[in-house]
Amino acid sequence: MSSRFNSRKIEVYFIASIYYTVTVAGDIYEAEDDDYAGSVAAVW
């Protein structure tokens, strides 16, 4: 049961990371060139 829980946890984390990446990429893509550095700094 422990390994099954861990695999489920990894799956949720993987989906969340993809969603976060897509959201941030969309924000940077929509941002103006002047705001690009600010967007990257906010992410990191």
User: pLDDT (tens digit, 9 = 90+) per residue, 28-43?
Assistant: 666 555 565 666 666 6
CA atoms within 13 A on the CB side of 42: 10
Distance CA 11, CA 4 (A): 11
Residue 23 has pLDDT above 80, yes or no: yes
Check residue 42 and give its pLDDT: 65
Instruction: Taking residues 4-31, report their average pLDDT.
Output: 81
Average pLDDT of the chain is 74
Q: Is the pTM of this model over 0.85?
A: no
- Residue 21's pLDDT is 86
Q: What is the Cα–Cα distance from 9 to 17, expressed in whole angstroms?
A: 12
